[in-house]
Amino acid sequence: MNKKIIKTDINLVPNIINSSPDYYCTWQTQLFATSGGEPIKQRVIICENSLFSNKKPYGWAYFYEKIRSDLLFVMDDSWDVGVVEDKADFGCLVLNGEKFPLSTKDSDNKNALKNLSTRLKSLGWKGLGGWVYAGESTNYLEGKTLDEYYIKRLQDANYSNFSLWKVDWGKRDNDIEFRKNLTKLQKEYAPNLVIEHAITEEIVPDTDLYRTYDVPAIASIPMTMEKLYNILKVYKKGEGKALLNCEDEVYIASAGGFVMGVMRHPYVGNFPNGEKDRSFPKIHRNIKSKIYEVIRAVNWHKIAPAYSVDSLNTYFSDEILTDTWRFKDKTSEIENWWFNKPAISDFISGGILKKSAVSTIARNTKLPNSESDKKGNKPFIIASLNPSGAYSIATLGRTIDRKYYIPKCNVTAFTNTSNVIGVFGEYKTLTLDTSLKVKRVLMQDLASDFAYDITSKVKILDGKVIVDGKLISRIGKSSQPKDDTSEPGVIIKLN
């Protein structure tokens, strides 16, 4: 580091457990392990061996060693369905003995789930969760009413310390009353369980967690910004209690006060059969090589946890940005099933995918200002003033033609009285418009355990602290290995 930057013994990241219900989900790892297999193959491979074997492409329970205590481990579709798939078993929520023989041996369901949960926690994970079919299993209904059916399963979850139900598609996925009732029963019979809903936005006022749902990697940022805009514009203060899960866009989650459902995994490169990984194409963002972004995002949530859509007011820019991706080989650049989804197919013309979204979203704070870079481009930006008092901002990359990059621009963030600031992404300069009388400035890579005194490297003017983007990038990537391509993430402390 430059001699004018002084390493301190101060750690700005508190030594506490992340209180947000962030999780790692196995679905994309299931896809990788089956070399891009169809969903039926992905369902077969969710099993004890996949979680606990030491051989690639398995061993998923050993991922994220540095932050396991801050993440739930969520098994995706179909931990409760046999190797030979019987669709009538979907939604049974009974840990499958064929797939999980050690956990289920000599155990009823509640104890089998507890055995598996205990094993995951012994490896350091915060808790265990699972994907849930939106509907009851006809093979297990056994003449019970729907309430009786789910009360038993909620009691099992409560006994076993099961942490999260990821309620997804199914025969009742658009049934708003079904989803409301499931949450109502959960409050009574499994108060520590988090139920995450999806698909129908009408449930947002009546759930604790709502997932914005699937996006392809090559259009993930504008599509996630669009989804957030469509939800946040509806709910003002006091009108919706849900936390929003924006899946694997971890810097949007951290800077915006949202939950993350991490899909990326450390198995970089091609599928085991040698084919290109079209879920996380290397030619685009190479997301699988950005593991330290997850560490930084989780650590910021210790300071500024996710908060509900009704907490504070949200502001949107009038400016719309459009990303484009020109396909050369559709079979290796995006999952094939997306071409049957209007969210993608309706936006492809002449072999070019175009997706647009508002340029900036700000929660409980004034919209940041951004100039254009030399090419005339701006980044997407998300900013938030957290109920904790911390401020955060992220510049998010653009996809233009076949290139992904973050435009490095002069950005102004209106931090006002906040003296703890989370900064993610790339900048030419970042100006902090503050009401504080600043005498000292500290900066720390959110993935490290010590801060630098950067006072001599910033400009402190009347009401402004101007930080060079190169310094943010330099410190904000300083702790990651050379083969990790994560974008910067720092915490700034104004004294």
On whether the CB atoms of residues 189 and 154 are closer than 8 A, the answer is: yes
CA of 98: how far to CAs of 82, 85, 476, in Å? 7, 12, 46
Angle of the 146-160 helix axis to the 176-189 helix axis, nearest 10: 40
Closest CA to 398 of 227, 264, 222, 278: 222
Predicted local distance difference test score (pLDDT) of residue 184:
98
CB 23 within 8 A of CB 75: no
Q: Where are the domains of the chain?
A: 23-303
Per-residue pLDDT at 95: 98
Q: What is the pLDDT of residues 51-102, one digit of tens each?
A: 999 999 999 999 999 999 999 999 999 999 999 999 999 999 999 999 999 9
Question: Is pLDDT above 50 for 202?
Answer: yes
Q: How many CB atoms lie within 10 A of CB 438?
A: 17
Q: 1 pLDDT exceeds 50? A: no
Report the percent of the chain where pLDDT is more than 90. 95
Q: Both tokens of residue 282?
A: 């290397």
Q: Each residue of 312-336: pLDDT tens digit? A: 789 999 999 999 999 999 999 999 9
Round to whole Å and give the CA distance between 232 and 315.
9
For residues 221-256, one letter each, b for 16 or more C-beta atoms within 10 angstroms of the residue's C-beta and e for the rest, the string is bbbbbbbbbebbeebeeeebbbbbbbbbbbbbbbbb
What's the gap between Cα 99 and its chain centre? 27
In this structure, the strands spanning 391-396 and 380-385 are antiparallel
Can you read off the two tokens belonging to residue 425?
């992404």
**Secondary structure in 3-state letters for 35-93:** CCCCHHHHHHCCCHHHHHCCCCCCCHHHCCHHHHHHCEEEECCCCCCCCCCCHHHCCCC
Is the pLDDT reported for residue 2 higher than 90?
no
| The model's pTM | 0.97
How remote is the C-alpha of 97 from its chain's centroid?
A: 30
- Give whole-number Cα distances, 393 to 80, 254, 371, 483, in Å: 40, 9, 15, 26
**Omega before 57 cis (within 30°)?**
yes
At residue 112, φ and ψ (nearest 5 deg) are: -65, -45
Fold of 23-303: TIM Barrel (3.20.20)
Q: What is the pLDDT of residues 234-243, one digit of tens each?
A: 876 666 789 9
Predicted confidence (pLDDT) per residue in 268-306, tens digit: 999 999 999 999 999 999 999 999 999 999 999 999 999
Burial grade of 428 (CB within 10 A; 0-12, 13-18, 19 or more): middle
Q: Which DSSP string corresponds to 136-178?
A: --TTT-TT--HHHHHHHHHHHHHHHTEEEEEE--STTTT-HHH
- Using alpha carbons, list the distances in angstroms from residue 411 to 170, 231, 326, 423, 468: 44, 26, 29, 11, 11
Rounded CA-CA distance 141/7 in Å is 62
The count of residues in the chain is 495
pLDDT attached to residue 311 = 67
User: Residue 236 has what pLDDT?
Assistant: 64
Give the β-pairing of 452-453 and 441-445: antiparallel
List, edge to edge, every strand of the sheet that includes 360-363: 6-7, 452-453, 441-445, 489-494, 420-424, 391-396, 380-385, 360-363, 314-316
pLDDT tens digits for 421-442? Answer: 999 999 999 999 999 999 999 9
311's tokens: 């907490």
pLDDT tens track for 451-471: 999 999 999 998 999 999 999
Contact 431, 370 (CB under 8 A): no
Q: What is the mean pLDDT of residues 203-213?
A: 95
The three-point CA angle 75-80-86 to 5° equals: 130
